[in-house]
């Protein structure tokens, strides 16, 4: 009897954990130390971002809107947000072969790309749904202030540890590929994580969201339209905290976490997290 109880308890805990891991219904976003973020900016747009042909099988013709697949539609969301005739990303995306390999450095080539990783990377958390990696040089000028002048970036999805859906409207308990791409493109364009869940740039996946918040629109306009000091245009980002002289090459990765913690729910109530 005791053994049956133990097995039941273990199954209950596993189930609870898995359910919480899905996280689509968790709206609370933990505090995030945003101070270490460094804002980036591309000196020239629109960007030519290529999409791995491995994504083609994920879309059906019914997913197409205005001739754009669900991932291209997310690039258009950023383009529309910045508006004023400024196009950030070319759509539709040119395609490219998927890249394999367990070294992020191998993705630094002449192509900006969106890829699937089936092996993931040793130095990146298995809790990350996707990452954006970027390369650039520290820049400082009198009008824009200090920022990273971006020269390469890639978005890579973690297909080793997660599966994704492309169904419009979202499915409970699954990760929406387009929502995640919308977030990653924010990084690609130079934005940091935000400590508010009133932003697509919250550091944790918090459910289906294929549009931006006003907050995000203000940020991307501040970054690409204002031509004024970046830190003051888009918030008090402590880019100078990097303390690197202009011209210094920099690289970085930003992870979108599925959920930083395993949470246990009973009847919808959080009872334990670890």
**Interface segment toward Zn ion; rule CB under 5 A; list 25-33, 53-61, 155-163, 252-260:** 252-260
Beta-carbon count within 10 A of 211 CB: 13
Which helix H or strand E contains 272, and what residues bound it?
Answer: strand 269-273
Could you give the angle at the alpha carbon of 113 between the alpha carbons of 59 and 176, nearest 5°?
40
> Which one of residues 177, 212, 256, 257 is an interface residue with Zn ion (CB under 5 A)?
256
Q: How near is the Cβ of 256 to Zn ion at its closest, in Å?
A: 4
Specify the residue, 74 or 254, whose C-beta has the smaller distance to Zn ion.
254
Q: Which residue has the closest beta carbon to Zn ion?
A: 256
Residues 105-164 interacting with Zn ion (rule: CB under 5 A): none
Residue labelled with tokens 């970036």: 153
Distances (CA, A) of 97 to 93, 94, 113: 13, 11, 10
Specify the residue, 91 or 256, whose C-beta has the smaller distance to Zn ion.
256
**Interface segment toward Zn ion; rule CB under 5 A; list 41-49, 107-115, 233-241, 256-264:** 256-264
Specify the residue, 31 or 44, whose C-beta has the smaller distance to Zn ion.
31
Specify the residue, 256 or 258, whose C-beta has the smaller distance to Zn ion.
256
Q: How near is the Cβ of 237 to Zn ion at its closest, in Å?
A: 15
Specify the residue, 239 or 254, whose C-beta has the smaller distance to Zn ion.
254
DSSP string, 71-122: HHHHHHHHHHHH-TT---B-SSPPEE-----S-GGGG-SS-EEEEEESS--T
> Which one of residues 254, 257, 258, 264 is an interface residue with Zn ion (CB under 5 A)?
254
Specify the residue, 139 or 254, whose C-beta has the smaller distance to Zn ion.
254
Distances (CA, A) of 9 to 144, 188, 265, 268: 57, 44, 13, 17
SS3 content of the chain, % helix, strand, coil (to 5): 30, 25, 45
**Interface segment toward Zn ion; rule CB under 5 A; list 120-128, 173-181, 230-238, 250-258:** 250-258
Q: Which of 9, 5, 25 has the alpha carbon at shortest distance from 259?
A: 25
The number of residues that bind Zn ion (CB under 5 A) is: 2
Residues lying near Zn ion in the complex (CB under 5 A) are found at: 254, 256
């Amino acid at each position: 009897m005791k053994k049956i109880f133990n097995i039941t308890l273990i199954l209950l805990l596993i189930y609870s954990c898995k359910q919480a891991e899905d996280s689509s219904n968790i709206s609370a976003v933990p505090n995030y130390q945003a101070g270490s973020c460094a804002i980036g900016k591309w000196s020239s747009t629109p960007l030519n971002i290529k999409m791995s042909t491995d994504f083609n099988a994920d879309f059906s013709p019914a997913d197409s809107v205005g001739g754009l697949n669900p991932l291209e539609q997310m690039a258009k969301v950023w383009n529309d947000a910045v508006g004023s005739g400024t196009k950030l990303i070319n759509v539709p995306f040119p395609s490219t072969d998927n890249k394999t390999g367990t070294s992020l450095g191998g993705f630094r080539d002449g192509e900006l790309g969106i890829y699937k990783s089936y092996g993931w990377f040793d130095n990146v958390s298995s809790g990350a749904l996707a990452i954006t990696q970027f390369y650039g040089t520290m820049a400082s000028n009198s009008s824009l202030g200090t920022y990273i002048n971006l020269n390469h970036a890639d978005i890579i999805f973690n297909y080793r540890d997660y599966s994704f859906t492309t169904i419009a409207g979202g499915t409970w308990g699954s990760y929406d590929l387009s929502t995640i791409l919308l977030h990653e493109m924010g990084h690609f364009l130079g934005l940091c994580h935000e400590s508010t869940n009133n932003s697509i740039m919250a550091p944790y996946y918090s459910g289906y969201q294929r549009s931006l918040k006003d907050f995000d629109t203000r940020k991307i306009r501040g970054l690409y339209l204002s031509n004024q000091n970046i830190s003051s245009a888009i918030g008090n980002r402590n880019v100078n905290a990097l303390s690197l002289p202009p011209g210094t090459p920099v690289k970085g990765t930003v992870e979108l976490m599925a959920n930083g913690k395993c949470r246990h729910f009973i009847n919808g109530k959080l009872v334990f997290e670890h």
